[in-house]
Amino acid sequence: MQTNFESPQNFASLAGPRSSDVQTAPNVDKAKVEPETAQIAPNQRLIYAPHYLTGGAKHSGLIVETSGLANVAPPPITYRPHLPRALSETGLVSEFQFERVIYAGQAHAQLLPNGARAGISIGDGTGTGKTSTLVGIILDNWFQNRRRTIWFSVKADLIEAVREEFERLNFKIPIRLINEFTTEQSILMREGIIFCTYKSLIAKTKNGDWRVDQIMRWLGTDGLEIFDEGHKAKHAFADEGGKATHTGQAVLEIQDPIKYPEIRVVHSSATVASEVRHLAYQIRLGLWGEGTSFPLGFTQFAEEIEAGGVGAMEALISNSIRKRGLNK
């Protein structure tokens, strides 16, 4: 039987999670809070296991990670997700996926030096159940009364995979394509998910109406932004050999930490950045700007990391982002 979030009679009972049915799942293993991370050969690939969780459903597939990442433990878990325990007990969401949901919530609880909420970058690929993870993050926010999400994707028909995942988890949340609304219109949906392609994001009318403005009017001050296949915005930075793309610039605008400091941002892409400059769109990781080692901004960051070569970029990901729990 599905829990139908669209039915008016259900809104009162779902106004907030009850301690009896929404708990941390899986449980935090306090005995594992300060693990000793063994040093591993540089080129070795290892089977991945969550660091601080026990009791959850094991993931159906085998997950491996590079030794460079395995040598760096994420921070201890301090965040308690608001999800029905049954999702773990029935195996609908694996321990691996729950860990990502937890670290997303923990990242969003952090404030960057500029006062904006931190985001998270999830690099999971095929076999990890990425859609389940992203749906879990939406549900965690839903049960905390943050019920508006914008989901960016490369193709409009991928909306069906998202719908199917909610159905698999026995939930039904309103989800509509952005193209159901003209750019001049207001989005007439009280709560739910707006599904938008990166191509649609940059749409403008002859009068100058922009999808970005339309989306942000609906999303409000503390909505959730999911950038699935976020590497599509990798050309957000204009270097000497080219110029920034409209998509990259729109992705920067919709995350603007000054205009929208309370927005919660999730980047999801299995495509590794081949150049430092391809990280420009991930402005919610606190890698450059006020209060960082690169106070002059992204240009300074890119130049200094590029000068350090591949080793500097790997150290950046493992030591700066992973240790703070902003990368999974």
Predicted confidence (pLDDT) per residue in 228-246, tens digit? 986 666 665 555 555 778 8
Is 97:243 a contact under the CB 8 Å cutoff? no
The pLDDT tens digits for 10-54 are: 322 233 333 334 444 455 443 344 444 445 555 566 777 788 887
At residue 166 the predicted structure's pLDDT band, cuts being 50, 70 and 90, is: very high
Once rounded to an integer, what is the mean pLDDT over residues 121-125? 79
Q: Is residue 45 part of a domain?
A: no
Q: Is residue 89 part of a domain?
A: no
240 is in which domain, residue-wise?
A: 3-20+95-324
Answer whether residue 66 shows pLDDT above 90: no
User: Can you say how many angstroms the Cα of residue 2 is from the centroid of all Cα atoms in its chain?
Assistant: 26
Domains: count for the chain: 1
Q: Percent of the chain, pLDDT > 70? A: 74
Instruction: Identify the pLDDT of residue 173.
Output: 95
Of the candidates 55, 109, 138, 116, the one whose C-alpha atom is nearest the C-alpha of residue 255 is 116
Q: Which residue has the higher pLDDT, 268 or 63?
A: 268
Task: Sort strands 22-23 and 192-197 into parallel, antiparallel or unpaired.
Answer: unpaired
Please provide the distance, in angstroms rounded to a whole number, between the alpha carbons at the two ends of the chain. Answer: 33
The phi, psi pair for 265, rounded to 5°, reads -115, 135
Residues 6+ apart with CB under 8 A from 129: 59, 60, 94, 96, 97
Q: For the chain, what percentages of helix, strand and coil (3-state, to nearest 5) are there? A: 35, 15, 50
Residues 6+ apart with CB under 8 A from 42: 67, 68
User: Can you say how many angstroms the Cα of residue 324 is from the centroid of all Cα atoms in its chain?
Assistant: 15
Distance CA 240, CA 118 (A): 29
Is 189:174 a contact under the CB 8 Å cutoff? yes
Once rounded to an integer, what is the mean pLDDT over residues 141-154? 96
Q: Is residue 57 part of a domain?
A: no
pTM of the model: 0.83
Q: Is residue 297 part of a domain?
A: yes
Q: Is residue 37 part of a domain?
A: no
Q: Is residue 54 part of a domain?
A: no
The pLDDT tens digits for 196-224 are: 999 999 888 778 788 999 999 999 999 99
The CATH number for 308's domain is 3.40.50.300
Q: Is residue 38 part of a domain?
A: no
Distance CA 130, CA 147 (A): 20
User: Can you say how many angstroms the Cα of residue 185 is from the centroid of all Cα atoms in its chain?
Assistant: 28
Q: Is residue 62 part of a domain?
A: no
Structure-block tokens of residue 47: 């089977």
Q: Which residue has the higher pLDDT, 15 or 302?
A: 302
* Residue 3: how many other CB atoms lie within 10 Å: 15
Answer whether residue 274 shows pLDDT above 80: no
